């Protein structure tokens, strides 16, 4: 067995595991060359036939879960494994190839799976703000482009990646429709969808309508083995142009009966796979301590209620829950939520800050070299090219964010998973 190791040039954050331990749990039946210096790391790419559970899998994850984008049954197996062993997977909002790359790097550094997700605004940004977005054409193209970027690189990093999209309110449904078309084409050619999953957020509509729309999409998505994340109750705060800062406080806390209505309706759809973002006081954004009142017991009560309805043993966790608005949450609330079946936590605000903070610190440290193309403290004729090369601040931002994500993975117990 040979471990895939990271080249030292990746410059991992100090808190990350040392390169020698990275990838130790990855099982490869034939010599694999160091990551990224040689393009082939998987069995298919090496063109080697495989027996049983194939040549590349992980020691401790379910055998269906392999490096690269995880879809269908492998995705369900991975989420079930997370629920059973008590960790949640960080779901990080990405807006550029740089954000995707730091996610892959952070997952690799933690020997852990990651979710990479795009919001509609983030998808549009990925395509470039200069591209016309009539009928969400830029947002659709941007998300698809991001998806191919992830597919191209995830296997090279040797990590399992769930490819997902974030909040889709009623008015944004054409954006998801466009991505579903792309997945249907991909499914016809490859037997799996382009994306692992999408989120629909009809939480601002009446509950019946929310459920009806989710069922309709689950039918379409079930045909190509996709997973649906739906939202019940409202996540407070502001994110990506959706402002719930003045939401009715009652709507910030979902009731077990409502979770059951969703579970019942969606599980009746053929090949349904879904997760529920139930509101338990979550808020997007980071606020001063004391302003966010989380009540994770709502999740425990929902599991108990639904287990009863399904005639399952006490202590069963029939639902897979998603934690929105995790940035700035107290660690004990995060861990408690995980113990009640949260398998995914969204991360956006904290990585927005860490990325900016990396640029800020870089500019501050090198200020004297960043004021003009020529001339710095070492001489009036000294060039500053190597300081203002955009790769320098961008890499500083990535390193700062990998460090922040290492913390997120630790908070979510999502460390050394394979």
The answer to whether the beta carbons of residues 158 and 107 sit under 8 Å apart is no
- Min CB(405)–Zn ion separation in Å: 18
Residues 6+ apart with CB under 8 A from 118: 93, 94, 95, 126, 142, 143, 146, 164, 165, 166
* Active site (catalytic) residues: 166
Residue with Cβ nearer Zn ion (235 or 376): 235
User: Alpha helices, DSSP H only, in 286-348?
Assistant: 297-309, 331-339
Which listed range, 12-20, 154-162, 320-328, 369-377, lies at the site for Zn ion (CB under 5 A)? 320-328
Residue with Cβ nearer Zn ion (235 or 403): 235
Residue among 108, 149, 118 nearest 23 (CA): 108
Options 324, 334, 342, 399; binder of Zn ion; rule CB under 5 A: 324
Q: How many CA atoms lie within 13 A of 287 on its CB side?
A: 15
Which listed range, 67-75, 268-276, 319-327, 409-417, lies at the site for Zn ion (CB under 5 A)? 319-327
Q: How far apart are CA 391 and CA 404, in angstroms?
A: 20
- Min CB(123)–Zn ion separation in Å: 15
Burial of 208 (0-12, 13-18, 19+ CB in 10 A): exposed
Residue with Cβ nearer Zn ion (83 or 324): 324
- Min CB(176)–Zn ion separation in Å: 15
- Min CB(235)–Zn ion separation in Å: 5
Residue with Cβ nearer Zn ion (32 or 319): 319
Beta strands in 332-371 (DSSP E): 342-347
Residue with Cβ nearer Zn ion (166 or 399): 166
Q: C-alpha distances in angstroms, 263 versus 231, 275, 304, 315, 398?
A: 12, 9, 13, 17, 39
- β-bridge pairing 283-284 and 236-239: parallel
Which listed range, 112-120, 323-331, 353-361, 385-393, lies at the site for Zn ion (CB under 5 A)? 323-331
CA 19, 79, 165, 324 torsion: positive or negative? negative
Mapped onto helix, strand or coil, the DSSP state of residue 308 is: helix
156 binds Zn ion (CB under 5 A): no
Residue with Cβ nearer Zn ion (156 or 324): 324
Residue with Cβ nearer Zn ion (12 or 168): 168
Size of the site for Zn ion (CB under 5 A): 2
- Min CB(254)–Zn ion separation in Å: 14
Residues 6+ apart with CB under 8 A from 351: 92, 93, 99, 401, 404, 405
- Min CB(241)–Zn ion separation in Å: 12
- Min CB(124)–Zn ion separation in Å: 17
Residues 6+ apart with CB under 8 A from 376: 368, 369, 382, 384, 387
Q: How far apart are CA 169 and CA 176, in angstroms?
A: 10
Q: How far apart are CA 171 and CA 326, in angstroms?
A: 25
Cβ-proximal residue to Zn ion, closest one: 324
Write each residue from 217 to 246 as x if it is in contact with Zn ion (CB under 5 A), else as -, in one continuous string: ------------------x-----------
- β-bridge pairing 321-323 and 342-347: parallel
Residues at the site binding Zn ion, with contacts judged by CB under 5 A: 235, 324
């Amino acid at each position: 067995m040979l471990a895939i190791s990271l080249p030292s040039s990746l410059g991992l954050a100090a808190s990350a595991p040392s390169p020698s331990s990275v990838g130790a749990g990855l099982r490869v039946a034939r010599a694999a060359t160091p990551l990224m210096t040689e393009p082939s790391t998987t069995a298919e790419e090496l063109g080697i036939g495989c027996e049983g559970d194939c040549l590349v899998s992980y020691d401790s994850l379910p055998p269906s879960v392999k490096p690269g984008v995880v879809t269908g049954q492998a995705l369900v197996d991975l989420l079930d494994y997370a629920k059973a062993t008590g960790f949640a997977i960080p779901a990080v909002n990405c807006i550029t190839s740089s954000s995707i790359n730091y996610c892959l790097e952070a997952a690799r550094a933690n020997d852990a799976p990651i979710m990479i997700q795009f919001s509609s605004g983030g998808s549009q940004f990925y395509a470039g703000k200069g591209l016309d977005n009539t009928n969400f054409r830029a947002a659709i193209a941007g998300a698809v482009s991001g998806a191919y970027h992830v597919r191209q690189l995830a296997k090279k990093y040797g990590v399992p990646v769930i490819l997902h999209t974030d909040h889709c309110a009623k008015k944004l449904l054409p954006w998801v429709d466009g991505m579903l078309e792309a997945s249907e084409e991909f499914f016809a050619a490859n037997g799996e969808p382009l994306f692992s999953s999408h989120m629909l957020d009809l939480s601002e509509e009446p509950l019946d309508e929310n459920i009806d729309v989710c069922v309709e999409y689950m039918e379409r998505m079930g045909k190509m083995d996709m997973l649906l994340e739906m939202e019940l109750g409202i996540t407070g705060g502001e994110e990506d142009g959706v402002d719930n800062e003045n939401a009715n406080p009652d709507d910030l806390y979902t009731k077990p009966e409502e979770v059951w209505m969703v579970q019942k309706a969606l599980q009746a759809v053929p090949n349904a796979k879904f997760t529920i973002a139930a509101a338990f006081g979550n808020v997007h954004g980071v606020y001063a301590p004391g302003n966010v009142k989380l009540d994770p017991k709502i999740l425990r009560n929902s599991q108990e209620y639904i287990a009863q309805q399904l005639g399952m043993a006490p202590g069963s966790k029939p639902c897979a829950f998603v934690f929105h608005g995790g940035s700035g949450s107290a660690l004990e609330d995060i861990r408690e939520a995980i113990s009640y079946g949260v398998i995914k936590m969204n991360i956006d605000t904290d990585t927005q800050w860490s990325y900016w903070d990396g640029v800020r610190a870089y500019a501050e440290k090198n200020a004297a070299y960043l004021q003009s193309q020529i001339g710095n403290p070492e001489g009036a004729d000294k060039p500053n090219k190597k300081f203002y090369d955009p790769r320098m601040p961008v890499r500083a931002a990535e390193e700062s964010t990998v460090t922040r994500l290492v913390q997120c993975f630790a908070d979510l117990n999502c460390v050394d998973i394979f």
